[in-house]
Chain A
Amino acid sequence: MRNILAIAQKELKSYFASPIAYIVIGLFALLFGYFYAVMLQYFVRAGMNMNPMMGQQSLNINQDMLRPVMQNVTILLLFVLPAMTMRTYSEEKRSGTIELLLTSPVTDWEIILGKFFGALSLYGVMLAVTLVHMAVLFVYGQPEWKPIATTYLGLLLLGGSFLSVGLFISTLTTNQIVAYISTFALFLMLWVISWLGSFSAGMFTDVTAYLSIIEHFDDFTKGVLDTTHIIYYVSLITLGLFLTAKSVDTERWRG
């Protein structure tokens, strides 16, 4: 446990020692702010055009403003998260520091979990920046906190999946660009895999829809906590970490 913490700390520090952390967090905050501002405009406009006398269903800030923002944010994650894991193993391999880690009295799993939690903490910091926007909503409106909480849980799980699989991909190469592109491409595939099933019905549609990483996210934004989705993401995270462990071990044998 102490070793995991030491490695996670080192990872987090190294993100901030390089421009990666600042670029990733800065650009994410900028784009998040943009989506947020635009959606807020739409929401306000829609609210003013609505005639309360007509008995229309009133607008809900969670459903009609935050949900679209968060859906845009998931697209952002597709671009941003591969940058967080692209160097985790590839850089250690390239610079030879992997020899230090693998000859220290720590287990492979401690290294992997340390790196995973290091990346997850950076992601956490990145998400924390957006809490400011949420606070503004609470100051000027009455949003429900529960859907917001589930959305953030969904974002953490979705992001965790990216990070664990990205970690695995970074063990396969010494080149950061290769790691980035491969992670990005893999997740884009997982994103759009449900399109395959949209022309037919039955089993195939169900399977592709289940595999799609984004289909599972939607319920979280609605404030619904469905164990199916949680199990999906947790499985994906576990699979990514497991493949990382296998890959590190294989690398060992191959030298």
Chain B
Amino acid sequence: MIEVQHLTKRYGRFTAVEDVSFRVERGEILGFLGPNGAGKSTTMRILTGYMPATEGKAIVAGYDVFAQPVEAKRRTGYLPETPPLYPDMTVLDYLTFVSKIKGVPASERKQRIKYVMERVRVADMAGRLCARLSKGYKQRVGLAQALIHNPDVLILDEPTAGLDPKQIIETRQLIKELAGDHTIILSTHILPEVSQTCERVVIINKGKVVAIDTPDNLTGRLRGAVSMFVEVDANGQDAAAIISRVAGVTGVNEAERHGSSIGFEVASEQGRDIRRELAQAVVSSGCGLLEMRPMRVSLEEIFLSLTTEESSAQAAEEPVNA
């Protein structure tokens, strides 16, 4: 649905985006992750035809963004970082204007506006001036604007920025709902957002793509081996020794201790599930098994390690304790 090939954007001597390539399949949600100034907005602006690229090619919904901009734009909905609202228009007037320039046929206009306003839940604000909307409503009207012509592709630049936690959850939910009918690219610098909403992630830093993968694979990739957190009630026994005797365990590390309950980080061979053996060993030795869960590297850690060279070198050296 979206294909980006070797996209480069230079401003004079400054390179904002360098040789970025990726694909997004129909109906997929792709997360665009990177620190501020990494080139997320620039890439999105190129995809939406707002600005041309210095080099490279971008195909959206089958149309080359540079060669057939109007056709590509007809199939793209775009929510910029600040919702592009006219402060002196009412929500209804604004959506009517947008529906006209986005080419919604006059006969379907009313119905489409009504549908979109209900979809993003702004129907109760139809008569309100855009200038008087709260931040959350502005964002939603911005989303309504992007949806009005039922585009194949939705490009959302930091759709949850500046919203309160409840609105953030609502917006994420809405984006997920939209994914079936639309192919979505969303950018963010908030990591949980990506793991919660996106099927695939492009991590971008200083204009370059650092990684493209699913959030799960990215988490797995950073860890050479799988780790578990196990909390046991030792009952006076040497719990560490018991655990380390379980087949497949490669390392045991005491992480915390409260009275007789001890928390261990247990590393195991890659690809080997030791949970059953481990649980059995602990229980049959007379210790109490209080908690056992797989330890995941959070996306924050991955992000940091991929975007700062120093810590990524560290992570490579000691994958287990990273």
Which of A's residues lie within 8 Å of B, judged by CB?
2-3, 6-7, 9-10, 13-14, 17-18, 95-107, 252-255
Contact = CB atoms under 8 A, between A and B. Distances in A.
A10 B86 CA distance: 10
A99 B80 contact: yes
B42 interface: yes
B50 A103 contact: yes
Nearest to A18: B88
Contact of A3 (B48, B80, B100): B100
B263 interface: no
A103 B78 contact: yes
B70 interface: yes
A-B interface, 5 closest residue pairs, ranked by CB to CB distance from nearest: A100-B84, A17-B88, A6-B100, A105-B74, A105-B73
Interface in B1-50: 9, 11, 16, 42, 45, 48-50
B211 interface: no
A98 B78 CA distance: 12
17 contacts: A6-B101, A10-B97, A13-B93, A14-B86, A14-B88, A96-B80, A96-B81, A98-B84, A99-B50, A100-B98, A103-B73, A103-B78, A104-B73, A104-B101, A105-B71, A106-B101, A255-B11
A107 B84 contact: no
Given A6-B97, A99-B84, A255-B42, 7 more contacts: A6-B101, A7-B101, A10-B97, A13-B89, A104-B73, A252-B50, A254-B11
Given A2-B100, A17-B89, A105-B73, A100 B145 contact: yes
Contacts of B50: 99, 102-103, 252
B76 A101 contact: no
A255 B46 CA distance: 10
A3 B86 CA distance: 17
A95 B87 contact: yes
Interface string B84-124: 11111100010001101111000000000000000000000
A92 B26 CA distance: 33
A18 B88 CA distance: 7
B287 to A, nearest CB: 61
B51 interface: yes
B52 interface: yes
Nearest to A106: B101
Nearest to B142: A100
A95 B52 CA distance: 21
B158 to A, nearest CB: 13
Contacts of B73: 103-105
Given A6-B101, A252-B51, A106 B78 contact: no
A3 B52 contact: no
Contacts of A7: 101
B88 A99 contact: no
A100 B77 CA distance: 10
Contact of B103 (A17, A102, A105, A252): A105
A96 B82 contact: yes
B301 to A, nearest CB: 33
